[in-house]
């Protein structure tokens, strides 16, 4: 997914440079969805760590 996000960022930059705002917006929405997904996973993993007993 990190490679996908890198590709999306490149596409966003290319779209901005070409003035293709609607295309840029679509890529930004996809990137946002991916970042929210990754943040959700990170939060749930951190919550799981707090539930585990200390070793």
Beta strands (DSSP E) in 1-55 are none
Q: What is the pLDDT of residue 55?
A: 66
Q: What is the pTM assigned to this prediction? A: 0.79
Residue 19 pLDDT grade (very low, low, confident, very high; cuts 50, 70, 90): very high
Residue 32 token pair:
């946002």
3-state SS, residue 8: helix
Q: What is the pLDDT of residue 53?
A: 72
CA 13, distance to chain mean position in Å, is: 15
**What is the secondary structure of 7-44 as a DSSP string?**
HHHHHHHHHHHHT-HHHHHHHHHHHHHHHHHHHHHHHH
- The predicted-structure confidence for 24-40, as pLDDT tens digits, reads as follows 999 999 999 999 999 99
Residue 46 has pLDDT above 90, yes or no: no
């Amino acid at each position: 997914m990190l490679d996908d996000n890198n590709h999306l960022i490149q596409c966003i930059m290319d779209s901005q440079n070409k003035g293709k705002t609607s295309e840029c917006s679509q890529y930004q929405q996809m990137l946002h969805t991916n970042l929210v997904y990754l943040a959700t996973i990170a939060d749930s993993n951190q919550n799981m760590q707090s539930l585990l007993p200390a070793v």
